[in-house]
Homo-oligomer: A and B are copies of this chain.
Amino acid sequence: MGATKTDQFTPRQNRIAKLAKAVGHPARVAIIEHLLKVDQCICGDIVSELPLAQPTVSQHLKELKNAGLIKGEVEGNSICYCLDHEAFKALDEYFSEVVSAKTSAECC
């Protein structure tokens, strides 16, 4: 026990969960924020922006990439990562749906 029963849920549920999970760490939120701020692909400098050691940052980047939130490759002596717009759009659409489906029932 302990492992998530991925196969028991729908592909959509798993996809949203995977994307949201990747956003579910402040370091990764900070990385996303930084990618937005520099308004272009990261070419170095991520580590110095975060209060974490270099291997830890690398690991977070790997998870963001694995979840499909960022894309890019290492280019020579620096990395070139940027946000994957499609993934964020999927999240945006999901939460828009939830918000707009607001029910009239407010018993709590």
**Residues in A lying within 8 Å of B, measured CB to CB:** 4-6, 8-10, 13-14, 16-18, 20-30, 32-33, 36, 39-41, 51-52, 71-73, 80-83, 85, 88-89, 91-92, 95-96, 98-99, 101-103, 105-108
Contact = CB atoms under 8 A, between A and B. Distances in A.
A17 B108 CA distance: 25
Contacts of A39: 103, 105
Contacts of A10: 26, 30
A107 to B, nearest CB: 5
B20 A24 contact: yes
B41 A107 contact: yes
B82 A107 contact: yes
Given A21-B25, A32-B98, A88-B95, 11 more contacts: A4-B26, A17-B25, A20-B20, A20-B29, A21-B21, A24-B24, A40-B107, A85-B99, A85-B102, A88-B99, A92-B99
